[in-house]
Amino acid sequence: MAKDYYKTLEVEKGASKEDIKKAYKKLAKKYHPDISQEKDAEAKFKEINEAASVLLDDDKKKKYDTYGSADGPAGFGGGGNYGSYSSGGFNPEDFGINLDDIFEQFGFSGFGGRGFSGSRNKNETTVYTEVELTLEDVYFGIKKEVKIERNVKCETCNGKGAKNSSDVIKCNTCNGNGVVIEMQRTILGSMRTQKICSKCHGTGEQIKNPCSSCHGNGTQIKKEIMEVSIPKGIENGVTLRVSGKGHYDRQTSSFGDLYLKVYIQKDEKFDVDGSDLYMNLYLNFIQAILGDEIEFKHFKKTLSLKIPEGTQPGTILRLKGKGLPHFNYEGYGDLYVKANVILPEKTTKEQKDILLEYAKTLKDKSVFDRVKKIFK
């Protein structure tokens, strides 16, 4: 007999997707095996996951409504369940359903009762800092010195936190688990909640005679100047990860990572767009009319650019492969040069005479008359 998924989720056949989501969320709270007091909670939870996996999938729902099976006329192929109770991998988050808000009120760290994993409180081991680069640094790549402050292993106690190894004992409050389980009365009845042990702060250990240098932390703050290799072509805002250069964690006897965010100074000469560079080139009107070959400094090299005869103001000239190195792959961007034509503010009598002679050669005689009138 075909399963009635609408009945399983306690909704009408014409229910909207939002109504189905609400119904699923309500039943998940009621039957999730980690918090439910119902005898058949696990079986019911499987059923509502199977129903939701079909009714929330447009294609499966269409086949189910037509043929009574999510696989169409060939026969029913069940949708799966979720988490440790799942065979098909149904994930409510794929359909915009977040159950964390339900379970967090009972002291769980996330959906599926993951708070009962027994894992200890993990210390924050990541160090964050910033570095500022010039455009030349980006073009060539650079080894940059950065100042950081991080926790390192205490040299006095070698990271143990105690004078002697025998002074480190198992926490008698949490029995070395780092967490304690408490019973709490809720609307669903008596629930188990998990909290970080207040005695050992999640370490699972107690120290009888703390180290005089680190006071039982096992770490000491150290200021360092570290040399970091910045690859060429790095882009503004990119964060680099330097493995093993973060804080020391006594629980795992390992170092976290350093995250270095890159900022690039604004350059006086070039504007930047990805790997492409843009610059202004200023020409006099003779160069624009007759053409020329211009040399200009490009980082540590000198480039030559041919100005075509009759170049108009605002013309963009492209130098292929003369931009910045691409980040994470081979090659370079392009350099775009904008031609800006500068007109003289003053001219001598000799220059005016020459311009008048030039104006006489123009086909449009009105231009000559206007120029002559201006000079007079």
Q: What is the CATH classification number for the domain harbouring 56?
A: 1.10.287.110
- Domain membership flag for residue 238: yes
User: Residue for token digits 């699972």?
Assistant: 204
CB atoms within 10 A of CB 341: 18
| Shared domain check, 212 and 159 | yes
| Shared domain check, 237 and 281 | no
| Shared domain check, 82 and 161 | no
Query: Is residue 315 left, alpha or beta, with left meaning phi > 0 and alpha meaning psi from -120 to 50?
Result: beta
| Shared domain check, 259 and 325 | no
Note whether 145 and 282 are within 8 A (CB). Answer: no
Q: Is the pTM of this model over 0.75?
A: no
Distance CA 63, CA 194 (A): 43
Distance of CA 351 to the CA centre of its chain: 62
- Domain membership flag for residue 331: yes
By C-alpha distance, which of 10, 24, 41, 196 is closest to 102?
24
| Shared domain check, 228 and 151 | yes
Query: What's the confidence (pLDDT) of residue 203?
Result: 77
Distance CA 126, CA 132 (A): 20
| Shared domain check, 101 and 65 | yes
Domain extent, residue 17, equals 5-107
Rg, C-alpha atoms of the chain: 36
Query: What's the confidence (pLDDT) of residue 364?
Result: 64
Q: How many domains does the chain contain in total? A: 4
| Shared domain check, 52 and 89 | yes
- Domain membership flag for residue 114: no
| Shared domain check, 300 and 253 | no
- Domain membership flag for residue 118: no
| Shared domain check, 205 and 140 | yes
- Domain membership flag for residue 67: yes
Distance CA 302, CA 304 (A): 7
By C-alpha distance, which of 47, 55, 13 is closest to 30?
47
Q: How many helices (H) and strands (E) does the chain have?
A: 9, 17
By C-alpha distance, which of 183, 181, 174, 194 is closest to 37?
183
| Residues 128, 132, 133, 134, Cα dihedral to 10° | 170
- Domain membership flag for residue 121: no
| Shared domain check, 207 and 161 | yes
- Domain membership flag for residue 131: yes
| Shared domain check, 136 and 66 | no
CATH of the domain at 287: 2.60.260.20
CATH of the domain at 227: 2.10.230.10
Query: Is residue 80 left, alpha or beta, with left meaning phi > 0 and alpha meaning psi from -120 to 50?
Result: beta
Query: What's the confidence (pLDDT) of residue 95?
Result: 67
Kindly give the confidence (pLDDT) of every residue in the chain, 376 residues in length, as a single tens digit, with 9 standing for 90 and above. 568 899 999 999 888 988 998 899 888 888 876 666 677 888 888 899 889 988 988 888 888 887 676 655 544 333 333 333 333 456 666 666 766 555 544 444 333 333 333 333 445 889 999 999 999 999 999 999 999 999 999 988 888 888 887 888 888 888 888 888 877 666 556 667 778 888 777 778 888 888 888 888 888 999 999 999 999 999 999 999 999 999 998 778 889 999 999 999 999 999 999 999 999 999 999 999 999 999 999 999 999 999 999 999 999 999 999 999 999 889 999 999 999 999 888 889 998 888 888 888 876 656 556 555 555 5
- Domain membership flag for residue 60: yes
Boundary residue ending a domain (210, 236, 264): 264
